[in-house]
Structure 1
Amino acid sequence: MPRVTVDDMDADAEVPVSIPLSSWLDKLAQPRGAPGGGAASGVLIAISAALLHMVAEYSPDSDEAEACGERVAAVRIRALDAAEADGVVSAEFGAALRPSEHPDRDARVRRAAVAATDSSVGLGRIAEELVPELALLFDVGNPSLRADLEVAGEALSAALGSARANVRANVSTVKAHRGEGDRLDEWVAHVERRAEELDAANARARSLI
């Protein structure tokens, strides 16, 4: 489970990478926002990748499955790294959103929301890499593990949908705190295109299962 920085509104604490899943979920359940939905999306990606790796390992007669297994193993590591990084970004976003009369609050919120959006976009990109791997294993993987592939597909779909939801929410916050001359028009357009691509990737994953 990823080590995630947790903002308890008073002090930050690190959650060790070696803690049990039940402990990490306890942290997720707390009203702190770090880990939050972005980190959860990363964990869903990692779960999907782990299941795909298992199916690939159960398909020893396929060179394609073997290569797939190597790729998804790397994706699993990157997904957990991204989940950990998202926890840090989430803590900073939560801090920026605290009520304040400071004249620069809008700018701080905007910067934190941009970082949170970019983190969600990055998680979405990682999740998208698993869609063709899922399709490949449906073709060449051990047919006895079809149910495991379907579970992997469901986890992947949830991860893609979660990343899309976070992108939508965070870019809305950016828009609500925009300032004159912030030069974010191109960024907003890019992020909105990426959101559409996440929707398309999710539709593709759903079609496979």
Structure 2
Amino acid sequence: MTDSAEVPTSRPMDAWLDALSQPTGSPGGGAASGVMLGLAAALMGMVAGYTPDVPAVVAGTGRLDAVRAELLEAVETDGIVSARFGAALGLASDDPAREQRVREAAVEAARSVAELGRIGISLVAEARTLAADGNPHLAVDLAVATEALEAGLAGASLNLRANLRLARVHGASAAMRAGLDEEVGRLAAARTQVERIAAELSARLD
């Protein structure tokens, strides 16, 4: 079996980062936030794997694998949604269909990034468990994971707020935005929790 350290950086990752760098918006900031959350989940999985003798940690290993897979799927979906959003915004200002198209696309984009945020929030409890019981020799890896988690949650929050603002500007009703405004608050609360965990882990490294 090939040692994982000998596996080269994958071309798909190169291609994805190249796509992200292009002025297309697909993938965009929402998908990038999801990738940061995926990095957090992967690093946390590594720390869990190095903590085989703590039942509470071992119990979370399968959940972390599932979250990582769910995030990758949501990132892929968000890229598709971003393309539709960009197409709506690209319609001529005098196009009679533009207002409705932008309104619906903005709400769809908000729901997509809210889903990424929802998945990311599920990682907070895992981070707390690992901070308490994870292998102390991997404190730096867990610290990096929590920083990535915080960044991913922040990115999801920023994108959600921006999409909701645009949806409101284009006439999205409260019914169309149902549940989305509350997600902003949930993301803020989750970020606060992660900040505390990250600060605790950082202090251990001094």
Q: Is the 8 A contact 2:107 2:176 kept in 1?
A: no
Between the two proteins, the alignment pairs up a number of residues equal to: 188
Q: Is the 8 A contact 2:51 2:134 kept in 1?
A: yes
Cα distance in 2 for partners of 1:87, 1:134 equals 27
**Pairing of 1:195-206 with structure 2 (within 5 A):** 195-206=184-195
Cα distance in 2 for partners of 1:152, 1:57 equals 14
Amino acid at match of 1:40: A
State the match for 1:192 in structure 2.
181
Point out where structure 2 has 5 or more consecutive residues left out of the alignment.
Answer: 1-9, 199-206
Report which structure shows greater RCO (CA 8 Å, sep ≥6).
2
Q: 1:111 aligns with which of 88, 104, 122?
A: 104
Matched, 1:127 2:102: no
Structure 1 stretch displaced more, 75-84 or 20-29: 20-29
- Per-residue Cα deviation, 1:1-29 (whole angstroms, up to 9, x for no partner): xxxxxxxxxxxxxxxxx733222111100
Q: 1:52 aligns with which of 44, 47, 55?
A: 44
Cα distance in 2 for partners of 1:193, 1:106 equals 25
For residue 179 of structure 2, give the secondary structure of its aligned residue in structure 1.
Answer: helix
- Per-residue Cα deviation, 1:110-165 (whole angstroms, up to 9, x for no partner): 00000000001100000000000000001111011011111000000001000000
- Per-residue Cα deviation, 1:75-121 (whole angstroms, up to 9, x for no partner): 00000000000000000000000141221210000000000000011
Give TM-score, length-normalised by structure 1: 0.87
Cα distance in 1 for partners of 2:150, 2:28 equals 18
Point out where structure 1 has 5 or more consecutive residues left out of the alignment.
Answer: 1-17
Runs of 4 or more, structure 1, over 3 Å off, are 186-189
| Identity among equivalent pairs (%) | 46
Cα distance in 2 for partners of 1:163, 1:46 equals 13
Matched, 1:140 2:133: yes
Q: Superposition RMSD on alpha carbons, in Å?
A: 1.3
